[in-house]
C-alpha cells in the first residue's frame, strides 16, 4: 500500500511520556500542534505517581488541570524502563517453563556467547574470569512434556495430555505465577502449544500463559526461548505496572487504552501479548525524534545523542533510514525482538564518582544516583551533578524550576575529600570529572561513527536528554560535524519522539523457501513452491494483524502494510531484511527481483566479491509491519526576531569555573528567547529541566523553529 503523508493534528490532546531512571518526562500536544512539557522525579515503587505528576506539571504551564487535560486527550503513550529495570534487578515473576521432553536443561546450555555477551569489550579479553549467570527460572520449575512436532510441522508423537495436566499442578505447587510454553518446531505447527494452553486452563483459569508460537513463531530455538522467558518473567510483571498507570489515567478522566512504545518504533496498547518488546522504549523515542527533525531540516544523516542521568545513548540514521537490529542482546542473551539500533554506555550526569581500588584512578559510573541526583539531594556518594553545581553550571535553586532545591554545601563536602586524594583543588577536581565523563561520551561516539566508516562531516548531530545541552560543548569539542543542534525541549526529547511513532504491530513467521540457481524444470518447481510459502505466510500474518486491529478498534483497511523477507545465501547463517513493496509475489521474475534486492542490501555490508549467487538463496523467515499513521507534532515556522536577546530573557550573571578560571557567564531564560536570537559565550541558557552551556568562543543561534544551532565564533 502507498505510504501516507503525516496527518495534521486537529482534535484532542496527544500525550507521550518517557519514564527514565531519574525523571519522568511528559509532552502534551494539543489540536494545533502546540506542545507543553512537564517533568517529575520517577517514583520507582509506583510509576503511576510520577506519570500523573509529569502530566500535571506540563498542564500547569498553560493553566490547565490534570483532570481537564486527560479528559480531553485522545492518545497516551507511556514509554519507560519498567521492563528493563525488572530484568536488571531480577525482580520478575516466578515462572514455570514447559519444554519438549529431553530439553529441560536448555536454559543452562545457553549459546557460546552467553557467558560474556553482557560484558564490555575490556572484560571480554579475559573470559577466564567470567561465570554463567543463574537462569531466572530455576531448574525445579522447568518440566519436559512428551510429544513432538518435526521440522516440517508434522506430528511425530502426539502430545500426552496427562503429562501437561500433572506437570501444571507441579509448577503451581512450586510457586509458578505464570507459565511459559516452548515446544520444538511450534513455529511450524502451533497445535501442541495451543492444546497445552487449554489443558493448563483446566487446572488454573487465571494464571498467565505465554506461548512461543504466539509471541515469537520463528526458528532459532534459543532466541525464541529467550523471548518467551522475557515475556513470562518480566513482561507479565510489567503489565501490572502498566495497568496501574492506565488506572491512574482513567481515574483522572482518560477514557481509552494507554499505549506503549515497542523496540521497533511502533506503539501498541499495553494489553499486547508481546509486551517484552517495550524494554528499550526510551532510547527508541530519541531516535524517532531525531529522524523526524532530520526530515524537517532536510538531512538524512543524523546522529542522535541522549545524555541522561544514567546513560549516554547514541543512534545513527543513515540516508534517512532508521537501522533495525533483528536479534539484539537483552542482558546476557539474544532475543528475536526487532529493535531500532542504538548503543549505550553507563555514563550520565548522575553517574557516581569513585576511586578504582587497584589503579587509584578516578572512575565515573556505571552506577548512577538516578532520581536521587547526588549528594546534593539524597545519594550517598558524589556524582557529576554535584560537580556541575559546584562549577556554577547549574543553579541549585532552579532544578525542576525550583521544585527540588539542591544542597550546594553537601556537594562541596562530598567532593573535597576526593579532591584531596588527587592533590587538586575542589574546583579543579570537579572540572576534571566533568571533562572525563564527556571524554567517555566523545570516544564512544567517534568509535561508533568511524567504526562504520562514516565521515562526521556528513552528519548532523542532535544532542538531547536532560544533560544533553550541558554536556554538548565538551562532547563535540574537536569534532567536525555538518551541524550541531539541540532543543529548548531537549529534556523531554525522547517523549517528543514517542509522539512521532505510528501505531504499529509487527509480526514474524518462520517458513522454509528455497531459490536455487538455474532455469531447469526442477528449479522452476522449487521457486514456485517458494512463492507459495512466502505468500501464504504473509497472508497468515495479515490475518493476525486484522484480528489485533479489531481488538483495539483500529481500522485495518486504513493500515499501511509493509512486507519483508529475510534472505540469505544457501547454507549461510546470517540473513538480511529485504522489503517487498507489493502485497504478494506474483511470478518467478518477481522472486528473482527480490533476490536481487537482497544482494544490494548484502553489498552495503560486504564487498561484491563476497556474493555467492551461484549457491542460490533461502528464505527462512518473513515479516509484516502494519502501521496506522498518526498525527505528528508540529514545529511551526516563527517570525524571526533580532539577534540580540530581549531584556526579558536576561537573568543575573554568575561566576563559573571554566578551564581553571572563574569567569562571568551571562545567564538567559530559555523560554524568553525568540527565533532569530543569538547568544554569545560565555553564556548559560536555563530551562527548569535543562541547561545549555556556551563556552567562550562559541555561540548559539535560535532558528525559525527555535531549534538551537551550536557554532564556533561570535554570532
- pLDDT recorded at residue 3: 38
SS3 of residue 475 by DSSP: helix
Query: For residue 379, what pLDDT is reported?
Result: 87
Cα separations in angstroms, 39 against 86, 138, 584, 690: 23, 40, 47, 11
State the pLDDT at residue 230.
Answer: 84
Looking at residue 1, its pLDDT comes to 36
Map residue 265 onto helix, strand or coil: coil
pLDDT at 584: 96
CA distance 297 to 293: 6
Report the alpha-carbon distance of residue 177 to residue 595 in Å, rounded.
Answer: 46
Task: Judge whether 694 and 473 are in contact, CB under 8 Å.
Answer: yes
Q: Is 158 left (phi over 0), alpha (psi -120 to 50) or beta?
A: beta
250 vs 127: CA distance, rounded Å? 50
pTM over 0.75: yes
pLDDT in tens, 357-380: 888 889 887 778 777 888 998 888
* DSSP code of residue 62: T
Q: What is the pLDDT of residues 454-474, one digit of tens each?
A: 888 999 999 998 899 999 999
Select, from the ranges 55-64, 362-371, 417-426, 487-496, the one with the highest average predicted confidence (pLDDT).
417-426
Report the pLDDT value the prediction gives residue 248, as an integer from 0 to 100.
Answer: 94
Residue 136 has what pLDDT?
82
Closest CA to 98 of 155, 173, 176: 176
User: Bigger pLDDT: 240 or 563?
Assistant: 563
CB 562 within 8 A of CB 625: yes
- In sequence order, the 6+-apart residues with CB closer than 8 A to the CB of 349 are 307, 308, 309, 383, 384, 385, 388, 437, 466, 467, 470, 471
pLDDT score of 165: 96
Average pLDDT, the chain: 87
**DSSP 8-state assignment for residue 705:** T
Map grid coordinates 511425530 to a residue: 156
- 492-510 per-residue burial string, b: 16 or more CB within 10 A, e: under 16: bbbbbbbbbbbbbbbbbbb
Nearest to 495 by CA among 653, 689, 362: 689
In three-state secondary structure terms, 502 is coil
pLDDT digits (tens, 9 = 90+) for 394-408: 998 888 777 788 999
Region class of 67: left (phi > 0), else alpha (psi between -120 and 50), else beta: alpha
Lowest mean pLDDT among 262-271, 330-339, 644-653, 659-668: 330-339
pLDDT tens, residue by residue, 84-105: 667 666 778 899 999 999 998 8
| Domains parsed from the chain with CATH numbers | 13-86+240-281 (3.30.420.40), 94-207 (no CATH), 503-628 (3.30.1490), 647-712 (no CATH)
**Within 216-340, where are the H helices?**
221-230, 236-251, 281-297
**pLDDT for position 282:** 64
The pLDDT, as a whole number, for residue 370 is 72
**pLDDT of amino acid 5:** 42
In sequence order, the 6+-apart residues with CB closer than 8 A to the CB of 639 are 675
* 54 or 606, greater pLDDT: 54
Amino acid at each position: 500500500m502507498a505510504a501516507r503523508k503525516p496527518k495534521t493534528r486537529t482534535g484532542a490532546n496527544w500525550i507521550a511520556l518517557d519514564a527514565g531512571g531519574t525523571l519522568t518526562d511528559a509532552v502534551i500536544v494539543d489540536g494545533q500542534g502546540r506542545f507543553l512539557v512537564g517533568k517529575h522525579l520517577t517514583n520507582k515503587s509506583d510509576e503511576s505517581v510520577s506519570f500523573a505528576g509529569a502530566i500535571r506539571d506540563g498542564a500547569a504551564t498553560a493553566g490547565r488541570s490534570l483532570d481537564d487535560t486527560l479528559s480531553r486527550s485522545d492518545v497516551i503513550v507511556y514509554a519507560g524502563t519498567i521492563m528493563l529495570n525488572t530484568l536488571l534487578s531480577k525482580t520478575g515473576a516466578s515462572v514455570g517453563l514447559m519444554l519438549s521432553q529431553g530439553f529441560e536443561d536448555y536454559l543452562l546450555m545457553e549459546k557460546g556467547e552467553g557467558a560474556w555477551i553482557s560484558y564490555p569489550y575490556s572484560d571480554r579479553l579475559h573470559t577466564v574470569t567470567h561465570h554463567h549467570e543463574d537462569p531466572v527460572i530455576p531448574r525445579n520449575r522447568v518440566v519436559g512434556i512428551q510429544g513432538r512436532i518435526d521440522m516440517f510441522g508434522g506430528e511425530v508423537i502426539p502430545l500426552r495430555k496427562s503429562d501437561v495436566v500433572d506437570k501444571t499442578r507441579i509448577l503451581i505447587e512450586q510457586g509458578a505465577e505464570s507459565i511459559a510454553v516452548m515446544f520444538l518446531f511450534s513455529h511450524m505447527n502451533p497445535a501442541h502449544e495451543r492444546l497445552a494452553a487449554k489443558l493448563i486452563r483446566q487446572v488454573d483459569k487465571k494464571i498467565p500463559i505465554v506461548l512461543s508460537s504466539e509471541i515469537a513463531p520463528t526458528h532459532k530455538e534459543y532466541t525464541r526461548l529467550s523471548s518467551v522467558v522475557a515475556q513470562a518473567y518480566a513482561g507479565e510483571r510489567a503489565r501490572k505496572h502498566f495497568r496501574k498507570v492506565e488506572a491512574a489515567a482513567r481515574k483522572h478522566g482518560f477514557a481509552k487504552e494507554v499505549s506503549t512504545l515497542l523496540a521497533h518504533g511502533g506503539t501498541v496498547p499495553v494489553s499486547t501479548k508481546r509486551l517484552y518488546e517495550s524494554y528499550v522504549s526510551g532510547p527508541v523515542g530519541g531516535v524517532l525524534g531525531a529522524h523526524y527533525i532530520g526530515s524537517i531540516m532536510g538531512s538524512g544523516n543524523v546522529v542522535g545523542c541522549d545524555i541522561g542521568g544514567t546513560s549516554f545513548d547514541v543512534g545513527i540514521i543513515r540516508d534517512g533510514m532508521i537501522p533495525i537490529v533483528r536479534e539484539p542482546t537483552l542482558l546476557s542473551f539474544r532475543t528475536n525482538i526487532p529493535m531500532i539500533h542504538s548503543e549505550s554506555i553507563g555514563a550520565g550526569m548522575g553517574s557516581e564518582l569513585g576511586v578504582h581500588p587497584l589503579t587509584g584512578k578516578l572512575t565515573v559510573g556505571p552506577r548512577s544516583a538516578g532520581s536521587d541526583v547526588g549528594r546534593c539531594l539524597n545519594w550517598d556518594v558524589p556524582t557529576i551533578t554535584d560537580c556541575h553545581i559546584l562549577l556554577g553550571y547549574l543553579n541549585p535553586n532552579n532544578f525542576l524550576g525550583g521544585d527540588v532545591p539542591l544542597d550546594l554545601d553537601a556537594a562541596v563536602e562530598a567532593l573535597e575529600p576526593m579532591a584531596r586524594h588527587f592533590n587538586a583543588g575542589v574546583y579543579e577536581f570537579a572540572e576534571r570529572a566533568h571533562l572525563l565523563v564527556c571524554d567517555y561520551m566523545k570516544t564512544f561516539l567517534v568509535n561508533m561513527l568511524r567504526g562504520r566508516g562514516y565521515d562526521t562531516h556528513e552528519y548532523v548531530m542532535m544532542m538531547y536528554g536532560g544533560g544533553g545541552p550541558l554536556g554538548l560543548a565538551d562532547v563535540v569539542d574537536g569534532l567536525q560535524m555538518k551541524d550541531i543542534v539541540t532543543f529548548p525541549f531537549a529534556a523531554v526529547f525522547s517523549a517528543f519522539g514517542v509522539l512521532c511513532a505510528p501505531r504499529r504491530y509487527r509480526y514474524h513467521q518462520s517458513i522454509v523457501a528455497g531459490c536455487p540457481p538455474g532455469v531447469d524444470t526442477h528449479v522452476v518447481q522449487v521457486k514456485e513452491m517458494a512463492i507459495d510459502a512466502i505468500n501464504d505466510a504473509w497472508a497468515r500474518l495479515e490475518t493476525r494483524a486484522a484480528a489485533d486491529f479489531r481488538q483495539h478498534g483500529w481500522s485495518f483497511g486504513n493500515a499501511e502494510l509493509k512486507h519483508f523477507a529475510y534472505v540469505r545465501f544457501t547454507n549461510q547463517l546470517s540473513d538480511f531484511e529485504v522489503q517487498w513493496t507489493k502485497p504478494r509475489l506474483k511470478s518467478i521474475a518477481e522472486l528473482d527481483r527480490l533476490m536481487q534486492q537482497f544482494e544490494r542490501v548484502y553489498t552495503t555490508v560486504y564487498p561484491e566479491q563476497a556474493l555467492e549467487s551461484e549457491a542460490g538463496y533461502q528464505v527462512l523467515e518473513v515479516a509484516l509491519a502494519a502501521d496506522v499513521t498518526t498525527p505528528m507534532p508540529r514545529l511551526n515556522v516563527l517570525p524571526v526576531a533580532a539577534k540580540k536577546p530581549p531584556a526579558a530573557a536576561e537573568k543575573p550573571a554568575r561566576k563559573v569555573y571554566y578551564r581553571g578560571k572563574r569567569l562571568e557567564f551571562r545567564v538567559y531564560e530559555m523560554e524568553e528567547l525568540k527565533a532569530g536570537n543569538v547568544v554569545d559565550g560565555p553564556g548559560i541558557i536555563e530551562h527548569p529541566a535543562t541547561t545549555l552551556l556556551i563556552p567562550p568562543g562559541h555561540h548559539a543561534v535560535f532558528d525559525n523553529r527555535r531549534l538551537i544551532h551550536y557554532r564556533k565564533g561570535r554570532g
